[in-house]
Structure 1
Amino acid sequence: MSRVAVVTGASRGIGQAIAVALAEAGHRVAVGYRSGGPAARETLDLISQVGGEGLLVRGDVGVRADVDEMFTAVEDAFGPVELLVNNAGIVRDGLAVTLSDADWEQVLRTNLHGPFYCARRALRGMLRRRWGRIVNVGSIVGLLGSTGQVNYASAKAGLIGMTRSLAREVAGRNITVNTVVPGPIGTEILSELSPERLAELSRMAPMNRMGTPTEVAAAVTFLASEAAAFITGTTLPVDGGISMGG
């Protein structure tokens, strides 16, 4: 069945792969982005290439007014939002002792407040329709921590708690809320790293490689499907085994 989906941070990398995968599954996809208009239009082109229908919606997920405008635009064009993928995120790395208030607050605003604002807005229609899927994109850093990423790790850990709490609140209305937790994923963000650092990231996983955006997108697409109707409140690692420990 075709649904209306919103994917935030969908202009590149994991978000782009998720948007295209949902379009391939037959859904109409709103491509959310804050900056990088050309990259967002590339995502829209990829959606068209797989025979899907897409829409560009620009806004900052950390600003409540922007979130409302984004969802209103989607509702006007496609109808009520039935699938939400909270993928938008930023990094502002630094050791805790020198981390600025601005870098702490901006990461929390985008990576934790933003998913809450989007989920709250999407739930209005989902609760009325008694059906919905929310998938939050976390990070292995939220489970394990990471030196120099106290702000990012805190936001991603908080996302897991938010997922579990929302899942309990809306489970009775046939709405599921889950988190996918990627490990090191081969995106353009990593292209600036040295070959030595890339090899180190690959060795972190028992599978001895980095994952791909399409592998994360496959997990998200499953959790957004009818087949995942009895899965909620879960944290699904897509990390090549890193979270097993040992």
Structure 2
Amino acid sequence: MKKNVLILGGSSDIGIELTRKFLDKGIYKVNLHYNANSKIIKNLKYKCNLIKADLSSLNEKNILKKFKNDYDIIINLVGYISGKSFEEFTTKSLEKTLKINSFIPMLIIRKSLKKMIKKKWGRIVNSSSIGVKFGGGSKTFEYSLSKHLNEFIPSYFKKIADKNIFYNTVKIGLTNTKIHKKIPNKNLIKRTKLLPIKKMANPKDIANYIFYIASNKNQFITNEVINITGGE
């Protein structure tokens, strides 16, 4: 039986590469969540189940209207950026960012845990950002704070690790994606020179690492924050 995969934020560059990797294996049923329309998403529609949803509009009661509760693998790549600095953020803007990037994904994860425990198998991968290490950029305070929250791994997952349910967070470093190019005043050339490895990752690199952690190949890694940051 094919394992049921949910990729939240699947329209991101990393999400698309990860979706292709799961589909290429032919042993996974991929559910791809997205918000904004794109040509790439339309090209994938016959190969996977598309779930269009604005996470900011969801609450605990209506999550199941959009998302099932029988996923074997859940990967959270949602990356909403408000563009607010520390000097500019408001309660409303911060609440929205935390809700989209952290709160709703965690509720979706919780909904699937009973089925994972019953099957005695599950893989959960959350995502963080290298920006957490530096306190966020001038326009990514809220985003980085939400990603810092994603590094918090509830102790509950230690209790169910012996059920072959593994939960990890990946801290993603500078990657050649559209999201970085949209951040105002971000000099990617200058930023890349600060990396010990002296190059940005590409989305396929990050997707490969996440796939390993989220697949049955991973038999011993859980409750970890894993850095994929080029040594930064």
Q: State which of 144, 154, 163 in structure 2 corresponds to 1:153.
A: 144
CA deviation digits over 1:55-113, x for unaligned, max 9?
Answer: 111223352345312323xx7xxxx3101001112011233232122221111111110
Between structures 1 and 2, the one with greater helix share: 1
Matches of 1:169 and 1:159 in 2, distance apart? Answer: 19
Q: Which amino acid aligns with 2:52?
A: R
Asked if the contact 1:164/1:178 (under 8 Å) is kept, the reply is no
Q: Identity of counterpart residues, as a percentage? A: 24
Q: Which moved more, 1:30-39 or 1:170-179?
A: 30-39
SS of residue paired to 1:227: coil
Matches of 2:207 and 2:62 in 1, distance apart? Answer: 25
Aligned to 2:67: 71
5 Å matches for 1:26-37?
A: 26=26, 27-36=28-37
Shift of 1:170: 2.2
Matches of 1:34 and 1:192 in 2, distance apart? Answer: 17
Asked if the contact 1:60/1:66 (under 8 Å) is kept, the reply is no
Q: Which amino acid aligns with 2:202?
A: T
Asked if the contact 1:186/1:212 (under 8 Å) is kept, the reply is yes
Asked if the contact 2:85/2:142 (under 8 Å) is kept, the reply is no
5 Å matches for 1:92-241?
A: 92-148=82-138, 149-161=140-152, 163-192=153-182, 197-241=187-231
Shift of 1:22: 1.7
Matches of 1:195 and 1:211 in 2, distance apart? Answer: 20
What CA RMSD, in Å, does the superposition of the two structures yield over aligned residues?
2.3
Matches of 2:191 and 2:92 in 1, distance apart? Answer: 28
Q: What runs of 5+ residues in structure 1 fail to find an aligned partner?
A: none
Shift of 1:37: 5.5
Matches of 1:189 and 1:108 in 2, distance apart? Answer: 18
1:36–1:169 Cα change, 3 Å: farther
| Residue 60, structure 1, aligned to residue 79, structure 2 | no
User: Whose RCO is larger (CA < 8 A, sep 6+)?
Assistant: 2
Asked if the contact 1:71/1:122 (under 8 Å) is kept, the reply is no
Q: Which moved more, 1:165-174 or 1:131-140?
A: 165-174
Q: State the TM-score, normalized to the length of structure 1.
A: 0.83
Q: State the TM-score, normalized to the length of structure 2.
A: 0.88
Q: Which amino acid aligns with 1:198?
A: L
Matches of 2:52 and 2:105 in 1, distance apart? Answer: 15
Q: What runs of 5+ residues in structure 2 fail to find an aligned partner?
A: none
SS of residue paired to 2:83: coil
SS of residue paired to 2:155: helix
Shift of 1:12: 3.0
1:104–1:196 Cα change, 3 Å: closer
Asked if the contact 2:131/2:137 (under 8 Å) is kept, the reply is no
Matches of 1:66 and 1:23 in 2, distance apart? Answer: 28
